[in-house]
Structure 1
Amino acid sequence: MEISYPFWGGKRPNYCGHPGYELKCNGDAPELTMMDVSYRVLDINTSSQNVTVARADYWNDYCPDKYINTTLDAALFNYTSTFPNLTLYYDCPSGVRRYPNSFTCSDTNTNISVFYTATGSDAITVTCMDNVTVPIFQSAADDIENGLAGSINLAIAMSLLGEALAGGFGLELVAINNSLCEGCVGSGGQCGYNATSNEFACFCPDMLYPSTCPNNTNTGLCEACVASGGRCDYNWTSNEFTCNCSGIPYAVTCPNNTNTSLCKECVASGGQCGYNGTSNEFACNCSDIPYAITCPNNTNTSLCKACFCRGMLHPSTCPKDAAKVSMYTHLYAPRTSNTSTAAHRFNAPIWR
C-alpha cells in the first residue's frame, strides 16, 4: 500500500500531510483515529482520494470494551456512497441465543447475549441494553441477509459477520483539494502542508510554494538562478519567482549571468562575493573594502592583511615587534591627567 499526501505519520513528517490525516502503525496495518475510534486502513486510492477502512475494535473480535457507534468527522471524511449498517445488540435476553445470528460475550464471569442484523429486518422484539452500528458494503449485507434467510448454523453466521466487518467501508477525504496536489506534482514539486499558514504547500527543490513550483517549469528558473550565483526565492506579494542575489531580488538571474565567473575570480583573490546595492553590480568584499572584481594585487590579500598594524597604516608590512611595541605604546597608554579619557580613546581597526 502506497502512503502519500495527505497522510503522514511514522517516518513521514507532519509537513508531508494534512494534520487531520495522521496514520499510526499497529501491527501489520496503518490506522487512523477519528472521534476516539481507531480504523484500520485497508486501501488508499490516491487518484480518487478515497480510502477503505474497517473498525479496529471489531477486527477479529466482536466483544469490545466500549460500545461506540461509527461517527465521522465531517470536516475530514464523508461516505463514498450510502452504506447499510450492521447493528450489534448487546446485553440481550438469553432467549435470543436460539437464533443463529447471536453469540455470547464474556464479561467478568458474566455471559452477555449478543444479536446482530444487517438490515434491521431481522431485528427481534426484545429489549437489549446497548447497540453499535457499523457501516458495511452492500454486498456483505446481502450475504448476511441471504444466509439468515436459509438454514445456517452458528459457525456460518459468525463467518458472515466476520467477513462483513473485515471488509470495511469507503470514505472520501474532504479536507483537501486534489487539484492543488496534482498541479504541484505536475510542476516538479511534492505535496505537503504549511503548519504556519495552515494551508497546502508545494515543496520544490529550493523551498515551499503555495501551489506550484515557479512558472511550472520543473524548477528550471531556480536552476538558472543558482547558475548565475543567486539563491531561489519567492515574492509572496506578486506570487512570482525571484532570484535572490546577495539580498537583492531579481526576476530570473543575477546581473551579468556569468555563471559566477566573477565570484570565482573574487574568491581566488581572497575575497567574498557580494553585491553593490547602489550600482546594482557585483562586488568583491575584501579585507579592507569592496572592490569591483577582485581584491588588490590578486595576491590572496597578503599585502592587505599586512598593512594594518595596531591601527597604523603602512605601505607594505608592519615594523618588527620590538620596534612596534616601543613606537606605538603611547597610543594605548592610559591618560593620567584629570582630563576625561573619553576624549582620548583610540579605536583601532582589527589587526588582521
Structure 2
Amino acid sequence: MDIHLFFFILLVLPVAYSDDHDLFLECNQTFNCGTIQGIGYPFWSPTLRPSYCGHHGFELICQQNQSPVITISTQRFHVLNMTRPPLMTIAPVDTWEDPCPQQFHNISLNHNLFDFAATIRNLTIFYGCPLEDDIPFQHRFNCGTTTSNGNTYAYYLDESLTRIHRSELTDCDTSIIVPVNQSEFDELWNETGNIVGAWNKGFEVMYQKDMISCLACTNSGGVCGSNSSSLDFLCFCPDHPCSKSCVVSGNVFLVVETRINPFESSTPLVFSLIDDRPQLCRQDGFVLSKCEDPQPIIHIGGNEYRLMYLNHSTSTMSIVRNDLWEQSCLPNPINITINDSFLTYPPTNRHLTLFYNCSNVPQRPIIFPCSPELLSFYADDLSERDTYRDFSNSCGTNIQVQVNQSSFDELQTERNEYMLEEWRFGFNVVYDFPAIFCERCDNLVEKCSNLVNSPRYPVCKS
C-alpha cells in the first residue's frame, strides 16, 4: 500500500468517526422546552436541539415557563402533555382561554404525521346566532362583540343536538368543529365544566412518524434522527449512521403504539406474546402476512384487514378492510362484521353507507365514480336516513363500513380527493389482551396478569 494513502486513511477515519460519534452523543440527549421536560425524537427545537435529531414536522417553539408550540398543517397548537408517547395533548393557540376567536378555522391534521386519538369527541360551535330559546341554555355563551350579521350568541352542540336544532341554526353567521377529550365532553354534558375549560385542556393526538424504525434503532443501541438533506429516518450509532438499526439480532420486533412500518420478514408472522409460560397457557393472537408491506395484513375471522397502527397504552389498533384498501369500487360489495370475543368497537367509530351503481342520487351527494353510466355515493350515519332509503332502491347495492372519527370528519368536508387516500376507511378496534393470552391460564392468573402489564408484547416473530 502506498505510504501516503496509508497515512491518509489513518487521518481521515478518526475524523469521520469523531463526527459520527458527535451526532450520536448530541441526539442521545433529551431537551426541555418550556413547561415540558425530557423531550426526545421526533421533536426538535431551533435553539435547543438540531433538526437532524428529530423530524421536520415536529418542530417545537419554546418559551420559558410556557407550553411549547407546534405547527400542524399551518395551525399553531400549545403542547400540554407528552407523558404517554406516542400520545400528546394539544390545544389550538387561536382559542386558548378565549372561545371567541378573531378568525374561525376547523382543526386539521397532517395525517401522514398525526391522527386523532380514539377518545376524541367533536363539538360544533355556531357563532353569530340569534337567541334561541329551544336550545338548552347551558350550551350557550356570549361573545360580546357582534359578528357580520349583528348577533352575539354562540352555541356548542354535539352531532345529535346539531341534527335536532338544525333549523334554528340557519341564521348563525358561521360554525367550526372542535375536538375535545371524552372526559371534557362528559363534564360539559354533566354541567360540571365549561367550554373554556374544555378547550384549555386540549385533546389527544397520536404522532406516528418512523416510530417503529426508532424503536428498532434504540433497541440496537442507536439514537433516532433524520437525514438533514433527504429527511429520511437515520439511526445514529456510536461509529456511523445506519438506515434502520445498529445491530440486527434475530428477527423479533416489538410493535407498540405506532403506525405499522415494514417488518423485515417475507414469511407469515404471528401477532403473539413471547414469554416463558407453559405451552398450554399460550394462545396465539392474530396471524400477520405481507409483512414486507408498510401496512401488513392481519387475518381476523376469515377476513383480511390492513393493520395501520397499534397503541398499547389504549389497547387499540386501527385496521382497514383489505378489499377497500386500494379502491372504493368493489366488484362484489359485501358487508363484513367482526365477531370476535377479543375485539370490541370503541364508541368513537362512525358509520358510512356506500351506495353503488345508482340511477338516482340525493341532492349534493358525495360521489365517487365507479361506472360511466351510473353513480355511487356515500351517506353518513347522521343523515336523513329515510331520504337515503328512497334513493337506495335505485342503487345496485349498498354496504355499511366503520370509519374513525378523524376520517369521518375529513369525508364530511366533502373533499372528494380524500376518497383516494388509502386509510380513508380505517377504523379502531379495542383488543383484550388479558382475554387473548390468559383465558387458558386459570391456574396462573397472577403470573399472566404480570406479563400482560409488561412492555414485551405485542411482538411479531417468524
TM score, norm. by length of structure 2: 0.40
Instruction: Select the residue among 174, 178, 183 that pairs with 2:208.
Output: 174
Report deviation, 1:189. 2.4
| 1:136 aligns to 2:180 (yes or no) | yes
Task: Determine the C-alpha separation between the residues in 2 that align with 1:72 and 1:99.
Answer: 32
8 Å CA contact 1:119, 1:141 repeated in 2: no
SS at match of 1:185: helix
Task: Determine the C-alpha separation between the residues in 2 that align with 1:175 and 1:193.
Answer: 11
Larger radius of gyration between Structure 1 and Structure 2: 1
8 Å CA contact 2:42, 2:209 repeated in 1: no
Count of matched residue pairs:
204
Counterpart for residue 142 of structure 2? 104
Report deviation, 1:215. 6.7
Alpha carbons of structure 1 residues 73 and 179: separation in structure 2 relative to 1, 3 Å: closer
Instruction: Select the residue among 188, 194, 213 that pairs with 1:160.
Output: 194
Instruction: Select the residue among 31, 34, 39 that pairs with 2:77.
Output: 39
Task: Determine the C-alpha separation between the residues in 2 that align with 1:120 and 1:36.
Answer: 30
Tell me the alpha carbon deviations over residues 259-313 of structure 1, each in whole angstroms, 9 at most, x when there is no partner: xxxxxxxxxxxxxxxxxxxxxxxxxxxxxxxxxxxxxxxxxxxxxxxxxxxxxxx
Counterpart for residue 88 of structure 1? 125
5+ long unaligned stretches in structure 2? 1-35, 250-462
Task: Determine the C-alpha separation between the residues in 2 that align with 1:179 and 1:98.
Answer: 47
Larger displacement relative to structure 2 (110-119 or 56-65): 110-119
Counterpart for residue 301 of structure 1? none
Instruction: Select the residue among 27, 39, 49 that pairs with 1:12.
Output: 49
Alpha carbons of structure 1 residues 62 and 18: separation in structure 2 relative to 1, 3 Å: same
Report deviation, 1:82. 5.1
Paired AA for residue 132 in structure 1: I
Report deviation, 1:135. 0.8
Report deviation, 1:121. 1.9
8 Å CA contact 1:83, 1:137 repeated in 2: yes
5+ long unaligned stretches in structure 1? 148-155, 217-352
Counterpart for residue 113 of structure 1? 153
Counterpart for residue 65 of structure 1? 102
Tell me the alpha carbon deviations over residues 115-166 of structure 1, each in whole angstroms, 9 at most, x when there is no partner: 112454266423211111111112221221222xxxxxxxx7xx52122212
SS at match of 1:32: strand
Alpha carbons of structure 1 residues 213 and 126: separation in structure 2 relative to 1, 3 Å: closer
8 Å CA contact 1:103, 1:114 repeated in 2: yes
Higher relative contact order (CA 8 A, sep 6+): 2
Percent identical residues: 34
Report deviation, 1:8. 0.9
Counterpart for residue 351 of structure 2? none
8 Å CA contact 1:52, 1:171 repeated in 2: yes
Task: Determine the C-alpha separation between the residues in 2 that align with 1:84 and 1:77.
Answer: 17
TM score, norm. by length of structure 1: 0.52
8 Å CA contact 2:235, 2:243 repeated in 1: yes
Larger displacement relative to structure 2 (185-194 or 94-103): 94-103
Report deviation, 1:198. 2.7
Task: Determine the C-alpha separation between the residues in 2 that align with 1:142 and 1:121.
Answer: 15
8 Å CA contact 2:73, 2:109 repeated in 1: yes
Report deviation, 1:37. 1.5
Task: Determine the C-alpha separation between the residues in 2 that align with 1:56 and 1:86.
Answer: 17
8 Å CA contact 2:82, 2:89 repeated in 1: yes
Alpha carbons of structure 1 residues 118 and 108: separation in structure 2 relative to 1, 3 Å: closer
Report deviation, 1:95. 4.4
Instruction: Select the residue among 6, 20, 39 that pairs with 1:3.
Output: 39
Task: Determine the C-alpha separation between the residues in 1 that align with 2:173 and 2:180.
Answer: 23
